[in-house]
Chains A and B, each alone.
Chain A
Amino acid sequence: SQTIHQWPATLVQPVGSPLSLECTVEGTSNPNLYWYRQAAGRGLQLLFYSVGIGQISSEVPQNLSASRPQDRQFILSSKKLLLSDSGFYLCAWNPGTPYGYTFGSGTRLTVV
């Protein structure tokens, strides 16, 4: 069966520090991968998605970047965190259209 792993679960980082969040999927190949951010009490904002290795689409201009170095690995990064980067970051995958997404357990990022 397919599983999605996301880590760390919580992270407290100072302003100006770098960020690296990792997401991996097991039990499938060539998944579509997604990064969402959720502010407290708000909806899900799509940040990046990828339909293949090295293919990244950005939905919102921001202080973040994404990479897909391997088929089942999706990384969210920042060179210098801002206070506004705080939030709940969710990774998700699906096998393609027309299937829904399976989400990871999320990373709670607090920038101080």
Chain B
Amino acid sequence: GESVGLHLPTLSVQEGDNSIINCAYSNSASDYFIWYKQESGKGPQFIIDIRSNMDKRQGQRVTVLLNKTVKHLSLQIAATQPGDSAVYFCAERGSGNTPLVFGKGTRLSVIA
């Protein structure tokens, strides 16, 4: 079963605003976390990852925050654009070479 869940199934954001997508996980032994973006009819695309020895990692317009104390992961998108409209999945991996476990996804809709 899935051990990673999301607080909000849908999120609507005005173009230019910042977006925050949240994710809770239950496996305290998970050591690696990833965010994926999936556009309609396509496979998920890697956005950013973070290891459990970090609490923040930044990419281009995206930041991932990891709070291991409360087992919470978030994806922040700066200056959200229409092209950011998609479903976003968080995923975690337990220790070792175990497969990724994906959350249910959050649909981000950008309002022009």
Interchain CB contact under 8 A, A43 and B102: yes
Binds A, one of B39-47, B61-69, B75-83: B39-47
Q: Which residues of B contact A11 (CB under 8 A)?
A: none
Residue B24 is within 8 A (CB to CB) of chain A in the complex: no
- What CA separation (Å) do A36 and B2 show in the bound complex? 13
Residue total for B at the interface (Cβ-Cβ under 8 A):
25
Binds B, one of A12-20, A74-82, A102-110: A102-110
What does the 1/0 interface line of B86-103 toward A look like (CB < 8 Å)? 000101010011011111
Residue B31 is within 8 A (CB to CB) of chain A in the complex: yes
- What CA separation (Å) do A104 and B31 show in the bound complex? 25
Task: Quote the shortest CB–CB distance from B2 to chain A (angstroms).
Answer: 7
Q: Interface on A for B, CB 8 Å cutoff?
A: 6, 32, 34, 36, 42-44, 46, 49, 51, 59, 90, 92, 96-98, 100-106, 108
30 interchain pairs, CB-CB under 8 A: A32-B97, A42-B104, A42-B105, A43-B2, A43-B102, A43-B103, A44-B44, A44-B89, A46-B99, A46-B100, A46-B101, A46-B102, A49-B99, A59-B99, A92-B43, A96-B97, A97-B32, A98-B31, A98-B32, A100-B32, A100-B49, A101-B100, A103-B36, A103-B43, A103-B44, A104-B43, A105-B42, A105-B43, A106-B41, A108-B41
